[in-house]
Amino acid sequence: MQIAPEQAHIFNAFAQDELTLTPALKLTLGTRFEYEDVGGWGVSPSARVIGSRRPASASGPPWRAPARTPAAIDRTLRVNIGTVPSPGPPVLVAVIGNPEFGIETLTQLDAGCRLRIGSTASLDLAVFRGRDDDLTTYEPQTPMFEGTPAPAHVVAARSPPTC
């Protein structure tokens, strides 16, 4: 297994504010700003409406859009699994990272309700709906010829496609 050393520079900040719309209804807005070497600047916003009425309280639809930045292993990994004999040069089976591995994003909406039962218990109900974009999978790649290390061989690899 081989993992190339990689240095990452990441900066992030988070801001959030809560606004009172009515005595029983509040709006919370927030966002995370992030700069990292792979994708540059990114913004992950969120919004939530919270209503409260006794004895129940409800959490209105919060919306979020977080992102997943690839780790060094996603971009630089190389695992040689084994060789397979063939009539030509041997075939090396491998898993190889992709330096062009992109950022994955999620857009999520959820809603919930909490019902207080007496003074010591409560019942929660939550519903979620999300959509993932730019998910990366490891796919078979076009075989490639390598002369080193000896003996010369063909590499049959699975790696993330170029985004």
Judge residue 105's burial from the number of C-beta atoms within 10 Å of its C-beta, 0-12 exposed, 13-18 middle, 19 or more buried. Answer: middle
Its pTM surpasses 0.75: no
Instruction: List the one residue out of 157, 163, 158, 160 whose CA is nearest residue 137.
Output: 160
Q: Report whether pLDDT(75) > 60.
A: yes
Summarize pLDDT for 113-149 with one digit per residue, the tens: 777 788 888 888 888 888 888 887 778 888 889 988 8
Distance separating alpha carbons of residues 130 and 118, to the nearest angstrom: 34
Three-class SS string for 88-142? CCCEEEEEECCCCCCCEEEEEEEEEEEEEECCCEEEEEEEEEEEEECCCCCEECC
- As given in the structure block, the two tokens for residue 119 are 């003074």
Q: Which of 23-32, 60-69, 80-89, 132-141 has the lowest mean pLDDT?
A: 60-69
Q: Where are the domains of the chain?
A: 2-159
pLDDT of residue 56: 52
Mean pLDDT of 47-54: 74
Cα dihedral 135→141→147→149 (10° resolution): 50
Distance, in Å, from the CA atom of 41 to the CA atom of 112, rounded to the nearest integer, reads: 32
